[in-house]
Structure 1
């Protein structure tokens, strides 16, 4: 009854993701203990749905519920469900393209605060493709695990569903070739007669008018048939300003999840997993040293460890802190990169699909106001420039700069999307 009441008041996606595997574990002296499958569900229900759960329980219970607790329950402890009627044997579906990396699985993906939402959404899609979170849009900087998650979804369901993974660049190249060779019908059949489409780096559609049109129709054809679409990008949908509104609105109509640079604990966990997978003999001290020095990019993080081990194997010497420091210095992966006025404007412009000149132009275009205020905010907080100095550089009155910075500072407290946007921009600024 409680689950039924919650199902009515929540979206289908929210209910399926967070409540499907929960149950009332015990009830005594006004205290209800809810069984949950893992720590992530426990944390999410406590933080996001606690008040709603308590209110619903009191609405249905004849006695007052004073407290709700959440307890992680192993699968063995979960209440038994009726054994389902055996279904007809399902023939294995052939993956359309043999381009999935078998090592990119959910098991090998290290979960931390920076990627937990994206991981949970990807898992939900793999469990029920086409039913919730469609489309799923994952964004984040280079080398943070977007491709890993996309391919993990594909690897999880490729035996049951017709799966196709492709980079946006590959989609564009094949489309142009199909036009040239007169095989456009074959191209459409390939990309539309599937159950799961995984497209990596959708930002490369910018500037490709014909390809954008074809992708729009491909998206619609799959979506109308309830086929799952998963897309990755280096920026959120609203920052893809060079794409048409009709495409962006479709991306925003599903689930949007970001991946940020991992924190220290997650970086250490990533290196330890790599060490375990490859049987590397590297001390915890060296692992922590690398994790502290390489902060922004998982690909570079794993690469530093791989290069260290390779160098030591060639020289026949054991890994040391000195060698690790040498590897990181030679690979050019310092923890922080020096910022400049020009770099901030160029990166913000690239992020929003604008030129350096657009941001500095005197015209008062509404579409330019937000990116300009972001530039002001970053110049103030990352370079510690004074308001008059920023005004002179941007050819604006210093009161305009003050207003722009204050607006972003206030909005960032209330707008989680803007907060993630700025974190992603900072990641890219310091990672290049």
Structure 2
């Protein structure tokens, strides 16, 4: 058997697969695959473990063979295999999309890994490290807490709960924690998984009568990194399993890191017992990056990728793409691709032309008081009619005051009009609310981040 044809094609095949499935599915089930042999019309592809192999065989075999056949010009059969030397859960961590680990706690002196093998096979993004993370005012505390957790897992902030809008760096910091832990202790059992994948693995284990294996593997890691825990909301059986997994790890002083687009108290239909546990440790909000941070992020990306682009262009992109880091980097990649294809140097004029759709060339509709109320209603899970009501519970009063603040500071509406819309309240009530929210923002960095995130949603 020879590997040269497959080696030549594999990167192209992976890119084809990336276009056929979601990014999460690609990273979870296709990126970890390793081609090991090629013969005539058959390709052998190695999976990290038998659990993984069964899932790919059942759900993605046809997708794999279709991509292989397309790029090889003839039908190709895909044979899935497992390196049995690395599939023993008693010897090595493997990741079911980042979800399986060997049992036992951290020994005082870690047992040596098998020759040539690592006992950690988590699928962390190599680009997501602390060195590549550009820290800004809105992410300073999250960055510091993540470093602290990576240096002493299970001893301080447990769980660490990072929350904030989409594309602000939560997943980056989570992967960075995993990398840092493994750098300090290559034998550490680090498990990264999304909440959705946790649910999928649970369902699959039930279907295959492997619940004991599932529980053993999830509850015997040193560091559990769970992305997007808000996905658990409303899924009773998954919450039940995650509750017991959380308890098992917490009681053994194993580190748990969670991310979400909102804090625990704002996740609807999340069981109270899980909500309270998520709040046991440290909760940190990541706010959208300010202009200076956006410029720094772009310059870091430019330096890393060896892109030639003027400071003028960088500042133009940073000033116009304000919502999140993902869109910021996406704009730079789009500009770089265009310059490469046209063999032209990147100029400010090119940036304006190529990114016109991204940068919203035409003025967008101005935000209204109704928009502010909708944003607050969604964030605090409070019906709009309650914001207008006379009820004054603590949570409702805070949501109403934030809405008034946004209506004044972001929308620019007069105090009298805001008062009328919010249930015919006096303008002095609105003035008091605005002052109170501003004072709370000045004294509470977390709350300031929440309000800034709401402001961004109104953009």
With the length of structure 2 as denominator, give the TM-score of the two structures: 0.68
- Classify the secondary structure of the residue corresponding to 1:338: coil
Residues 141 and 234 of structure 1 are in contact (CA less than 8 Å); yes or no, is this contact kept in structure 2?
Answer: yes
Deviates more, 1:299-308 or 1:271-280: 271-280
How much has 1:125 moved relative to structure 2? 1.1
How much has 1:324 moved relative to structure 2? 0.8
How much has 1:120 moved relative to structure 2? 1.4
- Classify the secondary structure of the residue corresponding to 1:137: strand
1:127 aligns with 2:151: yes
1:346 aligns with 2:353: no
> 2:400 aligned to 372, 386, 400, which one?
372
Q: Which residue of 2 aligns with 1:383?
A: 411
- Classify the secondary structure of the residue corresponding to 1:421: helix
- Classify the secondary structure of the residue corresponding to 1:330: coil
How much has 1:237 moved relative to structure 2? 3.1
> What CA distance in whole angstroms lies between the structure 1 residues aligned with 2:353 and 2:169?
26
How much has 1:90 moved relative to structure 2? 4.3
- Classify the secondary structure of the residue corresponding to 2:193: strand
Q: Which runs of 5+ in 2 are unaligned?
A: 1-107
Q: Which residue of 2 aligns with 1:10?
A: none
Q: Which residue of 1 aligns with 2:134?
A: 110
Q: Which residue of 1 aligns with 2:171?
A: 147
Residues 135 and 228 of structure 1 are in contact (CA less than 8 Å); yes or no, is this contact kept in structure 2?
Answer: yes
- Kindly provide the CA deviation profile for residues 284-316 of structure 1, in whole angstroms up to 9, marking residues without a partner as x: 221222122222311111111111010111112
Q: Which runs of 5+ in 1 are unaligned?
A: 1-85
1:414 aligns with 2:439: no
> What CA distance in whole angstroms lies between the structure 2 residues aligned with 1:173 and 1:355?
32
Q: 1:170 to 1:110 in 2, by over 3 A?
A: same
With the length of structure 1 as denominator, give the TM-score of the two structures: 0.72
How much has 1:261 moved relative to structure 2? 1.9
> What CA distance in whole angstroms lies between the structure 2 residues aligned with 1:417 and 1:133?
16
Residues 387 and 399 of structure 2 are in contact (CA less than 8 Å); yes or no, is this contact kept in structure 1?
Answer: yes
Q: Which residue of 2 aligns with 1:101?
A: 125
- Classify the secondary structure of the residue corresponding to 2:355: helix
Q: Which residue of 1 aligns with 2:197?
A: 170
- Classify the secondary structure of the residue corresponding to 1:139: strand
- Classify the secondary structure of the residue corresponding to 1:268: helix
What's the RMSD between the two structures over aligned residues? 2.7
> What CA distance in whole angstroms lies between the structure 1 residues aligned with 2:389 and 2:200?
35
Q: 1:231 to 1:285 in 2, by over 3 A?
A: same
State how many pairs are aligned. 344
Q: Which residue of 1 aligns with 2:294?
A: 267
Deviates more, 1:393-402 or 1:367-376: 393-402
- Classify the secondary structure of the residue corresponding to 2:303: helix
Residues 110 and 187 of structure 2 are in contact (CA less than 8 Å); yes or no, is this contact kept in structure 1?
Answer: no
Q: Which residue of 2 aligns with 1:83?
A: none
The 5-angstrom pairing of residues 253-292 of structure 1 reads 253-292=280-319
- Kindly provide the CA deviation profile for residues 227-252 of structure 1, in whole angstroms up to 9, marking residues without a partner as x: 00001111233333543333232222
1:233 aligns with 2:260: yes
Deviates more, 1:206-215 or 1:87-96: 87-96
